[in-house]
Amino acid sequence: MFAKARGVTIALENTPSELGAPSVLHKFIVDTHLNDLRLCFDIGHAHIEEGVGPSFEAMREYLVSSHIHDNHGDKDEHLLPFDGTIEWDAALRGFVDAPQLIAMVFEIKGLGATPPSLDQIREACDKMEEKLSRMQGSNKQA
Protein backbone atom coordinates (compact mmCIF):
# COMPACT_ATOMS: atom_id res chain seq x y z
CA MET A 1 0.00 0.00 0.00
CA PHE A 2 2.83 2.42 0.89
CA ALA A 3 4.81 1.51 -2.23
CA LYS A 4 1.82 1.95 -4.54
CA ALA A 5 1.07 5.39 -3.09
CA ARG A 6 4.62 6.42 -3.98
CA GLY A 7 4.59 4.95 -7.48
CA VAL A 8 6.87 2.03 -6.53
CA THR A 9 6.36 -1.51 -7.79
CA ILE A 10 7.56 -4.32 -5.56
CA ALA A 11 8.71 -7.39 -7.48
CA LEU A 12 9.66 -10.68 -5.82
CA GLU A 13 12.41 -12.67 -7.53
CA ASN A 14 12.46 -16.42 -8.03
CA THR A 15 15.39 -17.83 -6.07
CA PRO A 16 16.89 -21.29 -5.62
CA SER A 17 14.87 -22.05 -2.49
CA GLU A 18 11.58 -23.60 -1.50
CA LEU A 19 9.93 -20.23 -0.82
CA GLY A 20 11.41 -18.65 -3.95
CA ALA A 21 10.07 -21.22 -6.41
CA PRO A 22 8.02 -19.63 -9.23
CA SER A 23 4.88 -21.64 -8.44
CA VAL A 24 5.14 -20.66 -4.76
CA LEU A 25 5.51 -16.95 -5.63
CA HIS A 26 2.48 -17.13 -7.92
CA LYS A 27 0.43 -18.90 -5.24
CA PHE A 28 1.52 -16.32 -2.65
CA ILE A 29 0.15 -13.44 -4.73
CA VAL A 30 -3.12 -15.29 -5.43
CA ASP A 31 -3.65 -16.47 -1.84
CA THR A 32 -2.79 -13.14 -0.18
CA HIS A 33 -4.74 -11.03 -2.71
CA LEU A 34 -1.72 -8.70 -2.97
CA ASN A 35 -2.68 -7.96 -6.54
CA ASP A 36 -0.25 -5.03 -6.93
CA LEU A 37 2.73 -7.24 -6.09
CA ARG A 38 4.75 -8.25 -9.14
CA LEU A 39 7.50 -10.71 -10.01
CA CYS A 40 11.06 -10.56 -11.34
CA PHE A 41 12.05 -13.57 -13.43
CA ASP A 42 15.66 -14.61 -12.86
CA ILE A 43 16.40 -16.79 -15.87
CA GLY A 44 19.63 -18.18 -14.39
CA HIS A 45 17.89 -19.25 -11.19
CA ALA A 46 15.13 -20.87 -13.24
CA HIS A 47 17.74 -22.80 -15.27
CA ILE A 48 19.24 -24.39 -12.14
CA GLU A 49 15.87 -25.11 -10.53
CA GLU A 50 12.56 -25.97 -12.27
CA GLY A 51 13.63 -25.07 -15.80
CA VAL A 52 13.29 -21.85 -17.77
CA GLY A 53 10.03 -22.62 -19.60
CA PRO A 54 7.99 -23.93 -16.66
CA SER A 55 9.32 -21.20 -14.36
CA PHE A 56 8.47 -18.43 -16.83
CA GLU A 57 4.95 -19.79 -17.33
CA ALA A 58 4.32 -19.96 -13.57
CA MET A 59 5.34 -16.30 -13.22
CA ARG A 60 4.13 -14.94 -16.56
CA GLU A 61 0.96 -13.23 -15.36
CA TYR A 62 2.79 -11.05 -12.81
CA LEU A 63 6.15 -10.39 -14.50
CA VAL A 64 7.49 -6.84 -14.80
CA SER A 65 11.23 -7.39 -14.74
CA SER A 66 13.87 -10.04 -15.33
CA HIS A 67 17.48 -10.77 -14.49
CA ILE A 68 19.31 -12.02 -17.55
CA HIS A 69 22.40 -14.18 -17.17
CA ASP A 70 23.54 -17.67 -18.08
CA ASN A 71 24.99 -20.70 -16.29
CA HIS A 72 25.67 -24.38 -16.88
CA GLY A 73 22.62 -25.59 -14.95
CA ASP A 74 24.31 -26.49 -11.69
CA LYS A 75 25.28 -23.22 -9.96
CA ASP A 76 24.46 -19.52 -10.15
CA GLU A 77 27.42 -18.40 -12.26
CA HIS A 78 25.98 -15.13 -13.65
CA LEU A 79 27.66 -15.58 -17.03
CA LEU A 80 26.95 -13.50 -20.10
CA PRO A 81 24.01 -14.83 -22.12
CA PHE A 82 25.15 -17.52 -24.58
CA ASP A 83 28.17 -18.49 -22.40
CA GLY A 84 26.31 -21.24 -20.52
CA THR A 85 23.71 -23.86 -21.38
CA ILE A 86 20.43 -21.93 -21.41
CA GLU A 87 18.55 -22.57 -24.67
CA TRP A 88 18.10 -18.88 -25.54
CA ASP A 89 15.79 -19.26 -28.54
CA ALA A 90 13.23 -21.09 -26.39
CA ALA A 91 13.82 -18.83 -23.39
CA LEU A 92 13.34 -15.60 -25.34
CA ARG A 93 10.13 -16.88 -26.96
CA GLY A 94 8.37 -16.36 -23.61
CA PHE A 95 9.43 -12.71 -23.54
CA VAL A 96 8.19 -12.12 -27.08
CA ASP A 97 4.85 -13.83 -26.41
CA ALA A 98 4.28 -12.22 -22.99
CA PRO A 99 1.16 -10.07 -22.66
CA GLN A 100 3.20 -7.18 -21.23
CA LEU A 101 6.65 -5.68 -21.74
CA ILE A 102 9.19 -7.20 -19.33
CA ALA A 103 12.30 -5.22 -18.44
CA MET A 104 15.50 -7.19 -19.06
CA VAL A 105 18.40 -6.40 -16.72
CA PHE A 106 21.75 -8.08 -17.33
CA GLU A 107 23.05 -9.50 -14.04
CA ILE A 108 26.53 -10.76 -14.86
CA LYS A 109 29.79 -11.49 -13.07
CA GLY A 110 31.91 -13.20 -15.69
CA LEU A 111 34.39 -16.03 -15.37
CA GLY A 112 36.86 -15.99 -12.48
CA ALA A 113 38.26 -12.69 -11.31
CA THR A 114 38.01 -11.06 -14.75
CA PRO A 115 34.68 -9.41 -15.54
CA PRO A 116 33.51 -9.40 -19.15
CA SER A 117 34.67 -6.48 -21.26
CA LEU A 118 32.27 -3.88 -22.59
CA ASP A 119 32.81 -5.33 -26.07
CA GLN A 120 31.76 -8.79 -24.83
CA ILE A 121 28.69 -7.32 -23.12
CA ARG A 122 27.79 -5.36 -26.28
CA GLU A 123 28.17 -8.51 -28.38
CA ALA A 124 25.81 -10.46 -26.08
CA CYS A 125 23.30 -7.59 -26.15
CA ASP A 126 23.47 -7.37 -29.93
CA LYS A 127 22.95 -11.13 -30.29
CA MET A 128 19.99 -11.05 -27.91
CA GLU A 129 18.47 -8.05 -29.69
CA GLU A 130 18.87 -9.79 -33.05
CA LYS A 131 17.14 -12.94 -31.78
CA LEU A 132 14.29 -10.94 -30.24
CA SER A 133 13.82 -8.86 -33.41
CA ARG A 134 13.68 -12.00 -35.56
CA MET A 135 11.09 -13.58 -33.25
CA GLN A 136 8.97 -10.42 -33.17
CA GLY A 137 9.15 -10.25 -36.97
CA SER A 138 7.96 -13.83 -37.30
CA ASN A 139 5.07 -13.07 -34.93
CA LYS A 140 3.91 -10.23 -37.19
CA GLN A 141 3.99 -12.48 -40.25
CA ALA A 142 1.92 -15.19 -38.56
Instruction: Give the model confidence (pLDDT) of 59-109 as tens digits.
Output: 999 999 999 999 999 999 999 999 999 999 999 999 999 988 999 999 998
Q: Helices 88-97 and 52-59: crossing angle, nearest 10°? A: 10
Burial tier of 2 (Cβ tally within 10 Å: 0-12, 13-18, 19+): exposed
Rounded alpha-carbon distances, angstroms, from residue 124 to 12, 78, 83, 90: 26, 13, 9, 16
Q: Is the pLDDT of residue 111 over 90?
A: no
Given a cut of 70, whether residue 140 has pLDDT beyond it is no
Residues 106-127 have a mean pLDDT of 88
- Kindly provide the b/e burial profile for residues 15-41, where b requires at least 16 CB atoms within 10 angstroms of the residue's own CB: eeeeeebbeebbeebeeeeeeebbbbb
SS3 (DSSP) at 88: helix
- Residue 138 scores a pLDDT above 90: no
pLDDT of residue 142: 56
* Position 31 confidence tier, pLDDT thresholds 50, 70, 90: very high
Question: Domain coordinates of the chain in residue numbers?
Answer: 2-141
Question: Among residues of the chain, what percentage have pLDDT more than 70?
Answer: 96
pLDDT class for 137, splitting at 50, 70, 90?
confident
Q: What is the pTM of this model?
A: 0.90
Q: Which homologous superfamily does the CATH classification assign to the domain defined by 2-141?
A: Divalent-metal-dependent TIM barrel enzymes (3.20.20.150)
Give the pLDDT confidence score for residue 82 in this predicted structure. Answer: 96
Stretch 2-8: mean pLDDT: 84
Which is nearest to 103 in space by CA: 64, 137, 58? Answer: 64
